Structures are given as structure tokens and as C-alpha cells.
Amino acid sequence: MTPDRLGVAELRQALAARDVSSVELTKHLLARITAHHELGAFLHVDAQGALQAAASADMRRARGDGSPLLGIPLAHKDVFVTADAPTTAGSKMLAGYASPFDATVVARLRQSGAISLGKLNCDEFAMGSANENSAYGPVRNPWDRARVPGGSSGGSAAAVAARLVPAATGTDTGGSIRQPASFTGTTGIKPTYGVCSRYGIIAFASSLDQAGVLARSAEDCALLLSAMGGHDARDATSAERPPQDYAAPLAQGQAGASASRPLQGLRIGLPREFFPATLSPDVEGAVRAALAELEKLGATLLDVSLPRTELSIPVYYIIAPAEASSNLSRYDGVRYGHRTAQPADLLEMYRQTRAEGFGPEVKRRIMIGTYVLSHGYYDAYYLQAQKLRRMIADDFQRCFKDCDVIAGPVAPSVAWKIGEQGDDPVKAYLADIFTLPGSLAGLPGMSVPAGFGEQRMPVGLQLIGNYFDEARLLQTAHALQQATDWHRAVPPGV
Ligand code: GLN
């Protein structure tokens, strides 16, 4: 079997057994990245740096180093700053920007022995659901190159699905790990807000932004998350918890469960608002089939309600732009990235720099955000949204009295065609309906492959857990993946 077919756990074994060296593996994947250039997944490939790091990983292994991710090649969404590669956040504004330091998540993965092959395409400043808002062109879905891979972590999802990397980092503010994972048949986890440090992640909406993983299995997500997470004094919102090993407990199943029914005793709540009449029937069919598998594994399904699900769309699209308008004010041509040539005066420099550097969706969000924060509209929009955000979080806590995990679809449809949504941004906003509630509440969520819908496009099952219950989510997804093969399907021509 060629090494690109192996996930992180399998590669760890292959490297430990000396079936493959990190240099061989890295060379192989670099060749694949070149061969699949048409996908548009990578914005920057660091072949030289990766090969050097691989050679040093092989040497460390020969000396007995047993770091958990030693010699495993990964790639990072281009919103993580990296000292050895440029960081653009998918924006012209940051073209040519080089950070003097690594994001905490990147640094921790490096400390665990992982290698970075480069930086992955994404929507500009992570604003979008299809990777169509990148200033550096769209990303193609490996399952159908005429379709989007989802967004904003579209490059991460496409690279993992096309077997260019075994796993990649992503960020999720309102669904940007879960939705592209769903659209590409990959497994994604967004942990509880505060589990991964935001230090060195280009900020979009700081009260929502969270780092996570896109990989080929729950086990691989667990391996990476164990290395990435844990308290970081450099992020004031980082949860004061020690790093956790999410991978080791996976084999155990629910406490007191048997091998054939590893999910015995697990109560899965299905919010009725996650199964509206408008849900595409093929998506619903795939999700229900995955739920039936979970039942066979011992879980019980029950109905719950998240009555403010629909409201999460306006609430998110007020709060996220409000925070973005503030975060993006730093791009004024003075300190970071692009600066307009020959401005007449200072004001002209600010104006022209921002007019040239930002794309249309980013400008739209800055305008919406500035509007909802302005005197006279603050109470009517921003404050109302904040109050509703709390109520949405409370609704989840009511559900978690009756169930351990909440499940439903990730998105109302499979991946759409590139360009299909035209100029109407609201179409994409509405499609975020099932990922936004969990984001607003700060809860952990996963997308787990659940088979295929229309035109043999992948469908993801969403699992949402209570705060810091990542271990249970991963365990549930792992049990499903032990019993089914959906996550092993390879796109055609890959
Ligand atoms: N699609 C959502 C948006 O456009 C979510 C993006 C994200 O999670 N980064 O804002």
C-alpha cells in the first residue's frame, strides 16, 4: 500500500516499524501535492524545509526519540502564523507577510515531532463557506472538481480528502472545520472554545474562533488534538486545563459497555429543528443511516429541541462581523502587509490600502459589523444578539440534561457547484444553520463521514458534545468508524 493511503495512526506504526522513513513519506507527499496542483489546496509548499525536518526526524528516531508525531507530515490552514512560511489568511492584504513566530498550535505540533509541508488555502480571513472568497482562487472538491470543498478550511479538507496529507489543521468560527469535513468525506473536530490556544491565529471573531483538526478518522483527530490542546498563558481565553490524551481511551468504549455494543448507555439527542422539511432528503437519509448504526452499537436515540436554531443565523451574522470589524481595523497599511503606493496623505493611505487589500465579502462584514456596533444601533442589534446567544447556550444545557451527545446533519445539502450561489451571500449564510448554534454556545463539535448523497457527494453526521466532552465525541465517532467504512472511501482519480 502506498503511504498516502495511511492515516496518522497507521503512519506512526509504519514509521516505528521502519516500513517507511519520514524522508520517503515526505518526498512521496510532495510529489502528490505537485501532481494534484489543480485542486488549489496549497498556497505555499515548503519542500526544502519539510525535507530537512523529515531527515532530522529520521535521525531522532534512530537515536530512540519516541515523540508522538515524530516525522508525520501535516499542513496548516493559512490563518496560523508560521515563522518558516508566509501567512496570507487567503487575503491580498497579507500578501508577502512573514510572521516572526509560530502560532502556539503550530509550535506544539512541531514539538510533538510533526513536519509542516506548507500552508493551505482558505476563505479570506476565514469568512465563507465554500473557499470561494479566497483572494488566491477557489479550491476544488476531490469528489467532483466542479464543486466546492466547503469553507472556510477548504484547502485543509481537500488536501486530506485527496490524500496529499494525512491530516491538517483548520479553524472553526461558525462551522469552518465541520462543514468542509462534511463536504469532502473527512473527519473534523472543533473542540470546546478555549481548548486550543488562539495565539498566532489571524483573528476573525475572537469570541468564536477555535482551532481544530481535519483528518481521515476520529483516532487521527484524537492524536493531533492531544498535541495541540492545553492551556496557553499567551491566550487570555485559553481554558486552564492540562493537555489531555484523547487517543489512549478510544479503545475502551463507554464505561461498562461490551465489545459488540461499545456505545451501550449513550443517549443521543436529535434536535427536531435539525431535521426541517427543507433538509435535502439524501442528506437526511445518510444521517439517519449513520444514526441507525450508532443505535446498533448500543446508543439510544431520543428527541430533543433547540428552539432558537433559526435565530442562530442572524445572531452569528451580527456578532461575528462586529468582532471582525474591530479585529480587522489593524490592517491599515502601517504595520501589517499591503500598503497602497503613493497615497496623497495619511487618510488616503488608510482608505486606499483597505480598498485594495480586502475582498468584497470581507468589506461587507466590516460594514455590517461597524453598523451593528454604531451608536443608535448597538442596542437594537449587537446587544439583542448577545442576549440571544446566551439563550441559545442555555437551550443546549437543557438538552444535555436528557442526553450525552446531540446529533444531526452538518449542512442542509451536499457540496454545491463552484459559482452556483452567484452574488447572493445570504444563501451561504443560511446553509450554516446547523453549525452556528454549537459555535455560539462554544461547544465541541465533529463531522463524521456518513456515506453519500446526491451525485455520490459525501455527507457528514454532526456530533455536538457538552463543554470539554471531546473525549466522548471522539469515542462515539471512533466506535462508528470501527463498524463502518464510510470514512475509508477514496475520491475518484485520487
Ligand atoms: N461560514 C461561516 C462564515 O462565513 C463560518 C466561517 C468560519 O467558521 N470561519 O462566517
Give the tens place of pLDDT for each residue, 185-224: 999 999 999 999 999 999 999 999 999 999 999 999 999 9
Q: How far is the CA of 174 from the centre of ligand 1 (A)?
A: 5
Q: What is the average pLDDT across 300-327?
A: 98
pLDDT at 1: 66
State yes or no: is 176 an active-site residue: yes
pLDDT at 252 over 80: no
Question: Which residue has a Cα nearest atom 10 of ligand 1?
Answer: 127
Place of cell 478555549: 194
Among 21, 22, 134, 176, which one carries the catalytic annotation?
176
Residue 25's Cβ-side half-sphere holds a number of Cα atoms within 13 Å equal to: 35
Segment 149-190, tens digit of pLDDT: 999 999 999 999 999 999 999 999 999 999 999 999 999 999
pLDDT at 283 over 80: yes
pLDDT at 423: 85
Q: How far is the CA of 251 from the centre of ligand 1 (A)?
A: 33
Q: Which residues line ligand 1 (CB under 6 A)?
A: 126-129, 152, 172-176, 204, 320, 432
- Name the pLDDT band for 255 (thresholds 50, 70, 90): low
Beta sheet of 405-409, edge-to-edge order: 42-45, 115-120, 73-77, 167-171, 211-215, 187-190, 445-452, 458-465, 405-409, 267-271, 300-304
- pTM of this prediction? 0.98
pLDDT at 251 over 90: no
Mean pLDDT estimate for the chain:
97
Q: How far is the CA of 392 from the centre of ligand 1 (A)?
A: 18
Q: Tell me the three cell numbers of residue 382.
A: 449587537
Quick one: three-class SS letters along the chain? CCHHHCCHHHHHHHHHCCCCCHHHHHHHHHHHHHHCHHHCCEEEECHHHHHHHHHHHHHHHHCCCCCCCCCCEEEEECCECECCECCCCCCHHHCCCCCCCCCHHHHHHHHCCCEEEEEECCCHHHCCCCCCCCCCCCCCECCECCECCCCCCHHHHHHHHCCCCCEEEEECCCCCCHHHHHHHCCEEEECCCCCCCCCCECCCCCCCCCEEEEECCHHHHHHHHHHHCCCCCCCCCCCCCCCCCCCHHHHHCCCCCCCCCCCCCCEEEEEHHHCCCCCCHHHHHHHHHHHHHHHHCCCEEEEECCCCCCCHHHHHHHHHHHHHHHHHHHCCCCCCCCCCCCCCCHHHHHHHHHHHHCCHHHHHHHHHHHHHHCCCCHHHHHHHHHHHHHHHHHHHHHHHHHCCEEEEECCCCCCCECCCCCCCHHHHHHCCCCCHHHHHHCCCEEEEEEEECHHHCEEEEEEEECCCCHHHHHHHHHHHHHHCCHHHCCCCCC
pLDDT at 61 over 80: yes
The residue type of 150 is: G
Question: Which residue has a Cα nearest atom 4 of ligand 1?
Answer: 128
Q: What is the average pLDDT across 308-323?
A: 98
- Name the pLDDT band for 259 (thresholds 50, 70, 90): confident
pLDDT at 256 over 80: no
pLDDT at 318: 98
Greatest pairwise CA separation for the chain in angstroms: 74
Question: Which residue has a Cα nearest atom 5 of ligand 1?
Answer: 174
- Name the pLDDT band for 257 (thresholds 50, 70, 90): confident
Segment 95-149, tens digit of pLDDT: 999 999 999 999 999 999 999 999 999 999 999 999 999 999 999 999 999 999 9
Of all residues in the chain, what percent carry a pLDDT higher than 70?
99
pLDDT at 258: 82
Segment 450-467, tens digit of pLDDT: 999 999 999 999 999 999
pLDDT at 289: 98
Selecting from 3.90.1300.10, 3.40.50.970, 3.40.50.300, 3.40.640.10, what CATH number does the domain 3-259 have? 3.90.1300.10
